[in-house]
A and B are shown apart, each in its own frame.
Chain A
Amino acid sequence: MTHIPDDVLSAWLEDELGEDQRARVEDHLEVCRGCRGELAALRGVIRRAREAPPEWAGKTASWSALETRLEGRRRPETTEGSNALARRSHQSRSSARWGWSAGGLAAAAIIAFMVFFPRSDPGTTAGFEVLLAADSQVAEEVETLLVRKQWEAPEVRHAIADGNRQIDEGMRALRKALEERPEDPILADLARRSTSHRVDLLREVTR
């Protein structure tokens, strides 16, 4: 007797088999206790996958770190610059005109950086969090372009190259800040999450 392979049993569970094959599987299951056992085991796998996840042991510690990041993002919300940034961010999400968005957001990132960072007191994360918010948007836009291969379009390549130049200026300013305050743990943590990834991406597509 030829037993039913697991992948066929799985397809039968999903009702994906043709009429003939489904009839053969069902006829076999009626007479084969072993295959019924295999089917039950397969159902067990699916049931366990759908159970609630185990508790994540690092949840509380991660919340503490997250709270710090959110605190930095909340503070600059009343400033004119961050409101402009939020509007820009909203525009980027609602607009289908992706051509300008990578360069535009790159510009938003650098403007936010230049506006907020010089005003930030030592140890104040608000300026950098604004930069990182913009950075996140830029990275998202650029990666979307990469995934969709849309960066081949000349106008997109031009916009990205323009953004690249501006971001380079921002990175130089960031490095300078780090030289002045190398021991600042908040600064170091923010820098770790800063623009290096986006710069890598932009360089990759404009090479």
Chain B
Amino acid sequence: MLDRLLNTQTFMTAQGAMDGIAARHAALTDNIANINTPGYQRKEVPFEQQLAAARSQGFDAGGRTAAFRPTTITDHSGTARQDGNNVDIEMEMVALADNSLRYEVMAQYVSGFFSGLKGVIQAR
């Protein structure tokens, strides 16, 4: 019974989004940590399309998000910097702020989902 409530598409998507946002956070912190490393190429996690694809396939047969694993890619775009490093600190900091807000939104959503569920269970 609980499985049917917890393994809905929406809930699984929210779960996948949180995984993706956390992976993106790791990539962003990596970029910030390597701001002074010569030749470093920035990383990014464009998980949205991947998540949409996993969602359209109904995730996997067991109804788990295991099929969805956010992949980290390397951005080989050019740079104006002398040391070949293509990290732009302003862009990274803005992306970091944006990313934490997105995580908060998702956390709040999942929290709301659970409190709704709790309300139903307690028949209030």
Do A and B interact?
no
